[in-house]
Structure 1
Amino acid sequence: MKIRLGFPALSIVLLLLFSSLVALIPTSKQKQANRAPNIILILIDDMGSADVGCYRSSKSANQLPPTPNIDRLATEGIQFTNYYSGAPICSPSRVALTTGNVPGKWRITSFLAERKHNRTCEQADFLDASAPSVARELKTAGYATAHFGKWHMGGGRDVDNAPGIRQYGFDEYASTWESPDPDPLLTSTDWIWAKSDSIKRWNRTAYFVDKTLDFLKRNAAKPCYVNLWPDDVHTPWVPDETTLNDFPKGTEKPREFKAVLAELDVQIGRLMAGLKALGIDDNTLIVFTSDNGALPTFEGIRSGKFRGSKLSLYEGGIRMPFIVRYPARTPKGNIDNQSVLSAIDLLPTFVSLAGKKTSNSRADGENMAAVLLGKPIVRKKPLFWEYGRNNESFRYPAGRDKSPNLAMRQGDWKLLVNDNGSGTELFNLATDPSEQTDVSSQQPKVVETMRPKLLAWRTGLVKE
């Protein structure tokens, strides 16, 4: 018996067959979910912990503008309370992020400037291009890589022989004046900004966000790694044309700071909306943090509950906001108060999340991929910092914010001491995160255990 289908019935069968075939074709979201994540590292410049709304205490809650878009990253991801930058100042902190090493290993100990300044600081003029690089490691894993924003690991002023940004593994870049490859739209003169710049100072972060979204769109066939490193909220602040006319060199006043912070938050919102529009939001890992603490702190308001500021090894100089959002794999709205993370962890962590093993045999950090996916752990290795190799070239904050020039955290204990062995201070960060009470005299055994390790670590850096 033969069954004949009329046109309507045949159409239905064909439609069902077509629908079943379409169902087997992966959507863009499915394709994204089946590969390594896009990774965007958002590094803000001189952002204190209390600059971010979700990190504020009652002391600073009503004294700084809201940051709803940055806060939304935390409500949609994980907020960490024990993350540390690699240094309390720009250049070495960026070297730590890039290499997975403590920056002293690459002879970067302060902000990079003209050659004379670098010699006085006993440091190199730029990061050695042979140093490990997150971007280079991820390129071997099939990633497209880009750097948009401040560089400050060599180049600018009279340092004209710094390696180009591509030599560190980046396919594309757009950077500011303190780099070997400044973008001419941002740097019409030999300075950080000028009235003649095509992209005005207050539009710079929007420009970097646009660059990021365009790069992701053009490289949709690959996983992407992007450094999005705006130079907000570093002084001097220039939020608009009026400010530029009234203060050609910028200001350090609260009104201008609040305007810059508010605009930064708007641009983070634009970035997140752009990721959703591209259909890659779920499989994009966002890491939001700062290179070092705030300065000025407005009498401690921007440092929140922490003592210290930029240039200080107290918590206010190195303990930074750190938010991770990765909808495909991270829980929402978690706060991790247990895991202790560092900038030097990010290279091995990102490489692990890309499904590879790092080739950096000298890595100082730990693979914290599980932590970024919502599984707190106890840190295995202690953390070490230095800032200040001589009193001539290193300017510290005045008063109580001036710290000894070495620091170490092991468990809940934090030890500070000068490299000559003087000025020992010990704090229990579990009970005293504000570092108000030095307990070194009450805990001599802890000091006797930690101080030789810290001093030996510093001696080893100087010999390298």
Structure 2
Amino acid sequence: MKKLSVIFILQLLFCTNLLAQQPHIIIIYTDDMGIGDMSCSGGEVEPTPNIDRLAQGGKRFTQYYTTAPVCSPSRVSVTTGMYHVKWNINTFLSSRRFNAKCEQSDFLVAEAPTIAKTLKTAGYKTAHYGKWHMGGGRDVKNAPSIAEYGFDDFASTWESPNPDPLLTSGNWIWTAEDSIKRWERTAYFVDKTLAFLDANKETPCFINLWPDDVHSPWVPDESSQENWKGTAFNLDKMQLVMGEFDKQIGRLLDGLEQKGLLENTLIIFTSDNGPAPSFDRIRTNGLRGVKNSLYEGGILMPFIVHWPKKVQAGQVDSASVIASIDLLPTLCKIANAQLPEHFQPDGEDISKSWLRKKSYEREQDLFFEYGRNEDFKYPKNGTDRSLHLAVRHGDWKLFATPDGKTVELYNLKSDPTESHNLVQEKQEIVKELLPKLLSWFASSDKAYVSGNNLMSK
């Protein structure tokens, strides 16, 4: 009996020590933010001293990709660690009629793997504060609750199955009658985040902090909401929204520091997709492409990892090619959580690139999909509108239509603005990458919806 008691005590101490070592994890997933929106990446839109503070205190990556150029599929990919096409979410979710026209489901099925579910296997308490947009809203009344995706607490906006009544007094993104005004939302979500940490002091916490800043229309104050249709897409309004958003990032950091939590809190800062509009590429640092485009301006995103206990401050990694699908396996590794049993993540564990002063050499190519039929009408600018499929392989990026008849090829190292199509000069690269891209799309599209009958509308 004494021996068993000693073993039990040792196991308890091990588990207690493990929990003490696990970091709190906060994913700040901004909305429509381009790489030119941060001053630490050379952007000139608006000074962002608090986002810069995150970068200076951690590691900034310059080759991080979202695997979809618009909100709903990008959020599905970061949540599941898998390409969005496997879950039949192809563009932003809207009404049932719109979703059908775009050949997509009405919501992400609750059976899908999520970061929250996996971290709960390692003892985490979980919360989601902010935009959801993976199902629910408009006339979609049967989307699963956010709780079914593994979250213990949540407060979300109109485009979700559980809209917070303080944020959504009407049937639109925001109204003048909302209790929490449009320009107060990020502060509200930051307050929720800090309160959740206070309420779970003995437990590691995972929090999605997903503000809907800096998505247009930009409504920075009370006077702006009165005549917003005439001014809410102007750069000066965007700058005011960005300034307030940055201020709230500072409030989060200050709150964590005051609670003694900053040292062992892993903060991941990134965006769901590129900006709209870009104001003549100011918000993309000169890159071609915007939101809804597979050119670099639509999918190459800000990415900062801040974890004072483990990540050395002041680093910039311009070599590692990483992506949103990598977050789930990476966070599982860091938190000692179990990977999903029945689903194989498409992403890779990139934790070594975070924790060490070295770059990550990707094992698999990155694939992208957007714009499958004529109902994908954006971006309006033909120069920014890309072909339906793309693959990133080393320095090469190849675009194609699903029939393989139209192809573009760019070398991102020598041509980051994707201005010079090298299809004719580099046929050997085309012959290598095109079959891989077409095969990926053929095998991935709706793989876990129609193929495994997880969804019945």
Fold shared by both chains (TM-score > 0.5)? yes
Q: Retained in 2: the 8 A contact 1:91–1:111?
A: yes
Residue matched to 1:292: 273
| 1:47 maps onto 2:27 in alignment | no
Give yes or no for the alignment of 1:429 onto 2:412.
Answer: yes
Matched with 1:364 is: 346
Shift of 1:399: 2.3
C-alpha contact 1:90 1:111 (8 A) present in aligned 2: yes
Q: Which aligned pairs between 1:328-407 and structure 2 lie closer than 5 A?
A: 328-360=309-341, 361-374=343-356, 375-407=358-390
CA distance in 2, matches of 1:451, 1:310: 24
**1:355 positional shift:** 1.6
Q: Structure 1 stretch 334-343 or stretch 374-383: which is displaced more?
A: 374-383
For structure 2, list consecutive stretches of 5 or more residues without a partner in the other structure. 1-15, 448-457
Once the 2 structures are TM-superposed, how far is the Cα of residue 306 of structure 1 from its aligned partner?
1.4
Residue 460 of structure 1: CA displacement?
A: 1.5
1:167 equivalenced with 2:153 (yes/no): no
What is the one-letter code of the residue matched to 1:137? T
Amino acid at match of 1:50: G
Question: Which of 453, 459, 463 is residue 436 of structure 2 equivalent to?
Answer: 453
1:108–1:124 Cα contact (<8 Å) kept: yes
Give 5+ residue unaligned stretches, structure 1.
1-29
2:118–2:338 Cα contact (<8 Å) kept: no
Does the CA contact (< 8 Å) of 1:33 and 1:283 recur in 2? no
TM-score, normalisation: structure 2: 0.92
* 1:13-412 equivalences in 2 (<5 Å): 34-56=20-42, 60-61=43-44, 64-247=45-228, 251-360=232-341, 361-374=343-356, 375-412=358-395
Q: Go from structure 1 to structure 2 and tell me whether the alpha carbon gap of 1:393 and 1:412 turns closer, same or farther (over 3 Å shift).
A: closer
1:246, CA displacement in angstroms? 2.2
What is the CA deviation profile of residues 172-195 of structure 1, one whole-angstrom value per residue up to 9, with x for unaligned ones? 000000000000000111111111
Structure 1 letter corresponding to 2:244: E
Letter of the 1:367 partner, please give it: D
Distance 1:32 1:250, change over 3 A: farther
> Does 2:426 correspond to 1:443?
yes
Give the secondary-structure state (helix, strand or coil) at the position aligned to 2:445. helix
**Helix, strand or coil for the counterpart of 1:399?**
coil
Q: Any idea what SS the aligned residue of 2:139 has?
A: coil
Whether the 8 Å contact between 1:283 and 1:327 is mirrored in structure 2 is yes
Give SS of 1:452's match. helix
- Matched residues in 1 for 2:68 and 2:408: separation? 19
TM-score (norm 1): 0.90
Residues 56-93 of structure 1 show CA distances to partners (whole Å, capped at 9, x for unaligned) of: 2xxx53xx110000011111100100100020000000
Residues 351-383 of structure 1: per-residue CA shift (max 9 Å, x gap):
110023412542100011111213322100000
Please say if residues 120 and 393 of structure 1, whose CA atoms lie closer than 8 Å, have aligned partners that are also in contact. Answer: no
- Counterpart of 2:375, as a letter, is E
Deviation, structure 1 residue 463: 6.1
Please state how far the C-alpha of 1:305 moved relative to its aligned partner: 2.9
CA contact (8 A) 2:122 2:338 kept: no
Equivalences, count: 430
SS of residue in 2 equivalent to 1:205: helix
CA contact (8 A) 1:112 1:153 kept: yes
- 1:406–1:204 Cα change, 3 Å: same
CA drift of 1:462 comes to 3.4
Paired residues of 2:124 and 2:206 also in contact (CA < 8 A): yes
Distance 1:394 1:318 in 2: 18
Q: Report the Cα distance in structure 1 between the residues aligned to 2:252 and 2:230, rounded to whole angstroms.
A: 29
CA deviation profile, 1:305-331 (whole Å, cap 9, x unmatched):
311000100000000000010000001
C-alpha contact (below 8 Å) 2:70/2:291 kept by paired residues: yes
In the alignment, the residues of structure 1 paired with residue 338 and residue 155 of structure 2 have an alpha-carbon distance, to the nearest angstrom, of: 29
Q: Is the 8 A contact 2:121 2:338 kept in 1?
A: no
> Following the alignment from structure 2 to structure 1, what is the Cα–Cα distance between the partners of residues 66 and 216?
19
Displacement, 1:31? 7.7
Whole-angstrom distance in 1 between the partners of 2:62 and 2:127: 28
Task: Note the C-alpha offset of 1:412.
Answer: 1.1
Match of 2:396 in 1: 413
**2-structure distance, mates of 1:357, 1:337:** 30
* 1:236–1:249 contact (8 Å) kept in structure 2: no
RMSD: 1.5
d(CA) in 1 for partners of 2:194 and 2:377? 39
Maintained 8 Å contact 1:419/1:455: yes
SS across alignment from 2:383: helix
Which segment is superposed worse, 435-444 or 388-397?
A: 388-397
Q: Once the 2 structures are TM-superposed, how far is the Cα of residue 100 of structure 1 from its aligned partner?
A: 0.4
Q: Distance in 2 between matches of 1:259 and 1:107?
A: 36
One-letter amino acid matched to 1:408:
V
